[in-house]
Amino acid sequence: HHTIKNGSIPKGKPKRQGKECGRQFVINPTNKTVSDETKQLIDKLLLERIS
């Protein structure tokens, strides 16, 4: 794996970039997914706003 340092993300984790492909990524990312409950609430609020 040939990577170079490429700054950091807002949470302070370092970003890396592939030397050959140029792809940017974070090693060991922490993926925060939105729960179904939250998605339903967002949909409901958006629908109320539209109508």
Separation between Cα atoms, residue 25 and residue 28, nearest integer Å: 9
Q: Which two tokens stand for residue 33?
A: 């997914």
Give the pLDDT confidence score for residue 10 in this predicted structure: 85
pLDDT, tens digit, 9 for 90 and up, residues 10-50: 888 899 999 988 888 888 777 778 899 999 999 999 999 88
Domain positions in the chain: 1-27
pLDDT of the residue at 1: 66
Q: How far is 48 from 34, CA to CA, in rounded Å? A: 20
